[in-house]
Structure formats: structure tokens, C-alpha cells
């Protein structure tokens, strides 16, 4: 062994010790056992509760309805240790905010709350909080995915422990429907289901993906792309089981598939295409079968909707690349029922569901026979029933709420109440009480129980001793750095090299034998690498049990100026000429922008080849940036009837020059903040846009912007200033371009991000 190799090996031994020390510093579990209705579908994963003594009838504001709380919401509350947590929203226009509340479950009294504003989303019609918090059974902490894609962990007392901006860090996309669902906790992992457009050949295109974060740190542990191109936003909440020595996850996807994923590694196991659109309802497990339902057009007919049972146990052969693509031969049965997002309930040997025309249905899960249907409302969209104490508690889209005692002969409706607002989620059952959230209020029904009954949560541990290491993994698997920052292998804040057994369980640290640094880590030495330039690449670590990788993205810190002149034009462009890719660290820019020659200089040009990319937003910095000024030169092709729009993102606000409107506009979400002033534009002319965000001492803020023909003197005053009572205090800078119908190019040049003066 050479002296250099000996030193390197000693560094790696020290690295292992550092990793162990780092991972011992985790959030301590709560001293009080965490029990209750901890996630959206309850501890049985199927909308089932074993509690007894629940209410049969109630009167609004009277007997059986001890309290209600004024908060609009579209998700299921979760309950633990006498506290209820719910997502909602309050306010109008630019003052609307999402709210996470913690209430006393018995009295409805507010204990604490946290609020935040939407940003850069496509949400319309106030479609907020279409999701639920999830409680960690180990620590009692709370996990929330906001409508804008902020993945957050809170303590039971409301302390924010960590946050990941999935939009700015992972390229998460938003959709007008606003559906976010709920995080899934399994052991040390918290798993979310989102659509992202990231970077790289595999992870780059927009796909419905699962991301697993380490619940103590927020580090990405694995990601999975089990399906194909999405047609709808994801909403199906996964269910888990142990099968064949593996921990498996099942869920519907926005691409019309039901998928199976290894919950320890993210490896796609199989998929089955059920519909032309998204499969949004959550499935249920019934023995060796998975029962699922959807409300879109079927693949093999023009009919809408289907319930079916899939035989479990299939996976690709050892010598075949996964995932296995199932066909109809794997179905045990099917029937005609259809549901868009209303999920199934499994209680004993019966499955219950609500369908689009407002019927409550009972199905035999052994053969799919529809035993009966009973209409409760004119229609149903999202809300799901729960089963408890021999009764179904059924919220409907029109705001009606029903207590139904089912039998094989039919439905006995014990009570029907008309609540304020629409019911979009499912009830929660905990401690003798039933909680229902509508688009107007959060309701509590029943009387609290001192000795509630609990279902034993499905164990995520296989039991027995761990097997030998068979693979390696880097955690985090996705890393964001600034130029000049160091990526440490094993030190605090660095990358941990972990060994996995054949089931994907973590066996602890493993010693690397070789490290391959990405190109932007020029001069990496030993167990540390210094990011030298903006870019994106893959870190490879070789170990005795295999190669582990981490995706690394590097962005620039303040200040920086990008004039694109250093780009090498050696890639084929839209028109056959040579172009260059945009800076590799800019997420959301690849395939949507290219560096091209324009009149002897290099500029960033909006691509036209794919009409899906006619509107494109990319992020160029770190999401914790604040107090900066963005300036850029903009030019659009076209004519007086048709031009493009382009601009920048500053601290989660979009500031753009709108060619067809002849306007300068500041927005964040168009229904929350959108103000503009006239600004005359002509095609083929360069203009300079400048903007900054200031947060005042009282917590309010102002977004300022000005524009002028390039080469002329900068105006002394701002062209447009927008006040915001609840401003965004930080966020990544970015770029924006919109070429209607991909007809004309729009160009950016001399892009700078500098500290506010």
C-alpha cells in the first residue's frame, strides 16, 4: 500500500466514526406513547377504527356536537395524545394563507398555529389544504407537505425542525387542482408522492415520483420513478406491507398506473396501467390481493371508472430489469364502480366506497360482487368514508354527513346532517370522537373516551437478525451546494456511506474504497470536495458491496453575473445551429432554455421544439437566499400582434415583462398577488428589468420593479411596487419565459443576482 493510499484509508476510517457521531444526534422520541389517528386513512391504512361507543345521532350545535372551529379546509385532521392537528386556510386575495392548527381535541381550543403564503403555484379557486398532516408514532412530531411544496417537520408544540422546498430543490410541479395528499411515515423514512421535473436523463423529465426523506434530518434517502408520463397530479396515498422479505409500497399514480415500489430502496417492482388518466384513490390490501378503484377512462374500453383486484406477489426475474409490467391476467376480478379520488374502506370481508353519482356501495372483496348501492347525495368527488363501531361515517361533496349502519342487505341511515361548506376529505376517529373538516368549519362529534381502543400499527420491522451487506447507499442521495462549499463524506452536514442488506434495511456505515467526484469538484482531495463551479453531476462511491451514488447540484452564491459568453456552443439547437445547455445547476432550465448566438453575442434563448415547454420557470440559486436584487436584459421576437413574456423570480415572486399585454407585472400566485402597470414593448428591442424584495421591521414587505430600454439611463424611481402583509422572506432566484404556442423565441442576457444596497 502506498503512503498516499494509507493516508486515504485512515481518512475513511475516521469518516466512519464521524458518520456514527452525526447520526446519533437525532430528535429524541417523545416520552409519552404516541397513539391515535396518526395519518389520513388511520392506523389500519384502510379507513378502519376498532373504537366502540361512538355516536349514532347528533344535532348541529347541540347534542353530540360539542364544538366546531371556524377554519376552511379540505383535508383529514390527525389526532394524538389529546391534540388535534389540521390543515386549513384563511383570508382572501394576497392575504390568504394556509394554516396548520393544533387544537385541544376535547374542547376545540386553539393551542398553537403556524401560517404561510402560497408562492409560484398554479392553484385556482382557493384549492388549498387538500392534504393532511401525519404524526410520527415514534417522536410525536408532525409532518406536512404544503400546497407550494414545502416539506416540513414540526414538534408537537409547533417548533419547525426542518424544511425542504421541493419546488426549488427537486423541481416539484404544481397544478390548478392543488392536491398534495399526506406524507407517509415508515420507520426512519417519511415518503411523499409528487410530480417533479429534475435533471439528468432518468430523473429529468416530468414524472410522478416518490421521495423518501430521513425523518430526523430531511435528507433525501431515495427517489423512485415507477411510472410513465403523468396525465394528472398525484393524490393516491400509499399503503404498506411486508411480502417476500421486502417492505412494499402500493399507490396509484398520475400516469394511470397502480404501482408497487420497494419502500426501503425505492426500486420499482411492478406497475399495472388501469386508466388513461390519474389513479387518485388509495387502494386497500385484502389478503394476497390489492383492491383499487379509479374514475377515469379505462384502457380497454371507452367506459369511465372501474374497481378491480390485483393478485400480489409478482416481480421481475433476477436477470430482468424492473419494473415488471402487469397485464389483465393479473386481475382476480373487476366491476363497474368508479371513483375519482374517494378512497376505499375495508372492514372485515366487505369493501365500502362512494362513487361519482353520490351512491354508497358495498362490495364483496372475494369476488367483486356489488351487494348493494344506496344514494346519499347528488354527487361525490373527493371525500372518503370511515368505518368504526359497526357504522360508516360518510361525508359527501354537497356538505352532507351521514351515519350509516351497513349490513349485507343494505344501508340503514341513522343520521344525516347538513354541514357548512363542502366535504372533501375523510373523517378521523379518536378517543370516542369523530372529526370532520369541510371548506367552512372543523366539526367534532361524539363524547370523549378515557380509554380509547387502538389498532396495532403494521410493523415496519421484519424481526430477526440483519443479513449480510449486499449494497451501498449515500445519504443524502440528492445534494445542493453553493460554489466554494465543501461536500464532506461523513462529517456533519455531509454524505453518509451506508450498507444495506438484501431487503434494503440499513446496516450502518461502510468504508469506501474509491471516490469519483463530479466534474465541478475539481481538485477534490481525500474525503472532502470543494465545489468549484455551477453544475450538476453524480458522486460515485465504491465499496466492497457495490457502488453508491448521490446526485449533486451546485449553484452560485451572492453575488453573481451570467453573460453566457463562456458557454461552448457544441450541441444541436432548434434550427440546426450549434447551441449550449444552460448552466447545469439551474433546475428546470434544461430542454427549455439554450445558449445561442444572437448578432455576435451569446444569450439564453427559450426553446420552441416542445410545445409542453412554452411556459417555463427555472431556479438558479439556493432556497434560503434573501435580500437580493435581480437584473436581466430581455428581448422577444414576434410582431405587434404576438410577442412573448419573460422575467425573473426574486424571493418567490415572479416579475415579468408581458409582451402581448405591454405590461410589467408582479405576481406570486396569480389569484393571490397580481399587479401590473403599462410598459410599451416592441419585438426585436432589448429591455432591462430590475427588481428587489424588502422585508420591513414590522414583518410586512414590498416588491419593487422597474424596466427601461437597454442602453438608456436607469429610471430613478420604481415602475411598480406591491405591498404584501405576509411577504416571502427567502427563496431561490430564477428565470421565466413564456412563448405562446412556441411560435417565437424570447431571450435573456446579462443576468445578475446581487445583494440589496
**In this predicted model, what pLDDT tens digit does every residue of 674-721 receive, in sequence order?**
999 999 999 999 999 999 999 999 999 999 999 999 999 999 999 999
The CATH T-level fold of domain 3-26+463-555 is Immunoglobulin-like (2.60.40)
Q: What is the pLDDT of residues 193-206, one digit of tens each?
A: 999 998 876 677 88
Give per-residue pLDDT as tens, 235-273.
Answer: 899 999 999 999 999 999 999 999 999 999 999 999 999
Give residue-wise pLDDT tens across range 36-83: 999 999 999 999 999 999 999 999 999 999 999 999 999 999 999 999
The confidence band for 3, taking pLDDT boundaries of 50, 70 and 90, is: very low
In contact, 140 and 33? CB cutoff 8 Å:
no
* Integer Cα distance of 692 and 653 in angstroms: 10
Where in the sequence of the chain do the CATH 2.130.10.10 domains occur? 73-382+403-413
Alpha helices in 592-691 (DSSP H): none
Region 476-491: mean pLDDT is: 88
CATH, range 73-382+403-413: 2.130.10.10
Q: What is the dihedral of CA 210, 215, 221, 226, to 10 degrees?
A: -10
CA distance 436 to 48: 15
Condensed to tens digits (0 to 9), the pLDDT of residues 596-613 reads 999 999 999 999 999 989
- What's residue 454's pLDDT? 53
Inter-residue contact 100 to 156 (CB < 8 Å): no
Q: How far is CA 565 from each of CA 118, 133, 568, 572, 679, rounded to the nearest angstrom?
A: 36, 47, 8, 18, 29
Which segments of 68-206 does DSSP mark as H helices, in order? 166-170
CATH number of 561-755: 2.60.120.560
Predicted confidence band at 322 (pLDDT cuts at 50, 70, 90)?
confident
What's the CA gap between 158 and 155, in Å, rounded?
Answer: 5
What are the tens digits of pLDDT across the range 583-598? Answer: 999 999 999 999 999 9
CB 509 within 8 A of CB 16: yes
Q: What percent of the chain has pLDDT over 90?
A: 80
Query: Which candidate, 147, 131, 141, 86, places its Cα nearest to that of 111?
Result: 86
pLDDT band at 468 (very low <50, low <70, confident <90, very high): confident
Query: Where does CATH 2.60.40 sit in the chain?
Result: 3-26+463-555
Please name the helix (run of DSSP H) or strand (run of DSSP E) that holds residue 14, with its range, or none.
Answer: helix 3-24
Q: Which of 277, 288, 384, 391 is nearest to 341 (CA)?
A: 384
CB 592 within 8 A of CB 618: yes
Residue 163 in this model has a pLDDT that exceeds 50: yes
Whole-number pLDDT of residue 447: 92
- Judged against a pLDDT cut of 80, whether residue 183 lies above it is answered with yes
Q: Where in the chain is the domain with CATH 2.60.120.560?
A: 561-755
- C-alpha closest to that of 261 among 38, 504, 540, 507: 504
Alpha carbon distance 230, 487 (integer Å): 34
At 489 the pLDDT is: 83
Burial group, residue 202, by CB count within 10 angstroms (0-12, 13-18, 19+): exposed
What pLDDT is recorded for position 574? 75
Ranges assigned E (strand) in 517-662? 528-530, 535-543, 546-555, 560-562, 571-572, 578-579, 593-598, 601-606, 615-619, 628-636, 638-639, 642-643, 645-650, 653-658
* Residues β-bridged to residue 134: 143
pTM, rounded to two decimals: 0.92
- Closest of 71, 171, 193, 191 to residue 120, by C-alpha: 171
Q: Tell me how far apart the alpha carbons of residues 629 and 757 are, in angstroms, rounded to a whole number.
A: 8
Least confident piece of the model among 66-80, 208-222, 231-245, 336-350 = 231-245
CA distance readout (Å), 548 to 169, 248, 296, 337, 551: 21, 22, 39, 45, 10
Amino acid at each position: 500500500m502506498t503512503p498516499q493510499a494509507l493516508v486515504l484509508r485512515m481518512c475513511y476510517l475516521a469518516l466512519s466514526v464521524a458518520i456514527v457521531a452525526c447520526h446519533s444526534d437525532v430528535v429524541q422520541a417523545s416520552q409519552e406513547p404516541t397513539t391515535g389517528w396518526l395519518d389520513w386513512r388511520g392506523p389500519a391504512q384502510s379507513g378502519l377504527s376498532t373504537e366502540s361507543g361512538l355516536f349514532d345521532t347528533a344535532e348541529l350545535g347541540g347534542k353530540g356536537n360539542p364544538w366546531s372551529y371556524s377554519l376552511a379546509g379540505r383535508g383529514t385532521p390527525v389526532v394524538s395524545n389529546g391534540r388535534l392537528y389540521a390543515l386549513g386556510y384563511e383570508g382572501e386575495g394576497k392575504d390568504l394563507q394556509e394554516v396548520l392548527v393544533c387544537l385541544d381535541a376535547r374542547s376545540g381550543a386553539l393551542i398553537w398555529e403556524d401560517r404561510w403564503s402560497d408562492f409560484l403555484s398554479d392553484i385556482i379557486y382557493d384549492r388549498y389544504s387538500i392534504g393532511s398532516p401525519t404524526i410520527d408514532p415514534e417522536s410525536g412530531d408532525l409532518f406536512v407537505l404544503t400546497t407550494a411544496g414545502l416539506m416540513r417537520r414540526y414538534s408537537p408544540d409547533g417548533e419547525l425542525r426542518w424544511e425542504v422546498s421541493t419546488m426549488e430543490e427537486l423541481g416539484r410541479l404544481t397544478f390548478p387542482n392543488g392536491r398534495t395528499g399526506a406524507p407517509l411515515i415508515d420507520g426512519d423514512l417519511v415518503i411523499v408522492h409528487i410530480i417533479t421535473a429534475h435533471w439528468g436523463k432518468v430523473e429529468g423529465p416530468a414524472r410522478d415520483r416518490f421521495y423518501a426523506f430521513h425523518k430526523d434530518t430531511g435528507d433525501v434517502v431515495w427517489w423512485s420513478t415507477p411510472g410513465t408520463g403523468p396525465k394528472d397530479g398525484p393524490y393516491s396515498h400509499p399503503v404498506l406491507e411486508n411480502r417476500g422479505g421486502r417492505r412494499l409500497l402500493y399507490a396509484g399514480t398520475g400516469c394511470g398506473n397502480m404501482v408497487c415500489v420497494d419502500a426501503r430502496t425505492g426500486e420499482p417492482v411492478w406497475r399495472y396501467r388501469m386508466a388513461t388518466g390519474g389513479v387518485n384513490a388509495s387502494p386497500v390490501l385484502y389478503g394476497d390481493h390489492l383492491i383499487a378503484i379509479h374514475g377515469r377512462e379505462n384502457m380497454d374500453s371507452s367506459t369511465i371508472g372501474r374497481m378491480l383486484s390485483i393478485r400480489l406477489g409478482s416481480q421481475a426475474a433476477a436477470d430482468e430489469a424492473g419494473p415488471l409490467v402487469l397485464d389483465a391476467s393479473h386481475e382476480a376480478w373487476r366491476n363497474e364502480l368508479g371513483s375519482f379520488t374517494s378512497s376505499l374502506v375495508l372492514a372485515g370481508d366487505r369493501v365500502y366506497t362512494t362513487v361519482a353519482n353520490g351512491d354508497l356501495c358495498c362490495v364483496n372483496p372475494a369476488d367483486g360482487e356489488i351487494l348493494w348501492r344506496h344514494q346519499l347525495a347528488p354527487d361525490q368527488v373527493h371525500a372518503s368514508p370511515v368505518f368504526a363501531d359497526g357504522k360508516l361515517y360518510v361525508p359527501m361533496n354537497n356538505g352532507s354527513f351521514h351515519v350509516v349502519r351497513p349490513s349485507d342487505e343494505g344501508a340503514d341511515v341513522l343520521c344525516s346532517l347538513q354541514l357548512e361548506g363542502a366535504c372533501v376529505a375523510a373523517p378521523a376517529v379518536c378517543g370516542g370522537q369523530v372529526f370532520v373538516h369541510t371548506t367552512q368549519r372543523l366539526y367534532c362529534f361524539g363524547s370523549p373516551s378515557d380509554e380509547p381502543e387502538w389498532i396495532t400499527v403494521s410493523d415496519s420491522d421484519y424481526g430477526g437478525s440483519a443479513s449480510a451487506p449486499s449494497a451501498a447507499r449515500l445519504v443524502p442521495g440528492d445534494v445542493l451546494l453553493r460554489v466554494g462549499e465543501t461536500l464532506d463524506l461523513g462529517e456533519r452536514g455531509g454524505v453518509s456511506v451506508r450498507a444495506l442488506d438484501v431487503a434494503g434495511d440499513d446496516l450502518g456505515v461502510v468504508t469506501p474504497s474509491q471516490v469519483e467526484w463530479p466534474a465541478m469538484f475539481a481538485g477534490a482531495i481525500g474525503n472532502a470536495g470543494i465545489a468549484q463551479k455551477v453544475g450538476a453531476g453524480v458522486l460515485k462511491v465504491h465499496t466492497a458491496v457495490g457502488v453508491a451514488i448521490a446526485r449533486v447540484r451546485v449553484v452560485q452564491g451572492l453575488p453573481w453575473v451570467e453573460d453566457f459568453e463562456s458557454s461552448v456552443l457544441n450541441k444541436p439547437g432548434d434550427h440546426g445551429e450549434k447551441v449550449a445547455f444552460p448552466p447545469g445547476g439551474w433546475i428546470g432550465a434544461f430542454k427549455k432554455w439554450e445558449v445561442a448566438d444572437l448578432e455576435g453575442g451569446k444569450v439564453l434563448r427559450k426553446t420552441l421544439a416542445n410545445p409542453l415547454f412554452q411556459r417555463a420557470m427555472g431556479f438558479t440559486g439556493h432556497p434560503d437566499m434573501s435580500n437580493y436584487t435581480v437584473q436581466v436584459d430581455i428581448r422577444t421576437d414576434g410582431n405587434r400582434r404576438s410577442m412573448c413574456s419573460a422575467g425573473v423570480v426574486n424571493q418567490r415572486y415572479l416579475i415579468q415583462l408581458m409582451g402581448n399585454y405591454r405590461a410589467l407585472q408582479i405576481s406570486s400566485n396569480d389569484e393571490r398577488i397580481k399587479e401590473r402597470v403599462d410598459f410599451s414593448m416592441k419585438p426585436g428591442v432589448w429591455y432591462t428589468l430590475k427588481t428587489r424584495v424588502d422585508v420591513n421591521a414590522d414583518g410586512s414587505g414590498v416588491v419593487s420593479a422597474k424596466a427601461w430600454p437597454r442602453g438608456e439611463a436607469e429610471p430613478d424611481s420604481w415602475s411598480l411596487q406591491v405591498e404584501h402583509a405576509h411577504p416571502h422572506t427567502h427563496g431561490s432566484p430564477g428565470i421565466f419565459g413564456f412563448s405562446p404556442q412556441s411560435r417565437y423565441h424570447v431571450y435573456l442576457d446579462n443576468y445578475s443576482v446581487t445583494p440589496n444596497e
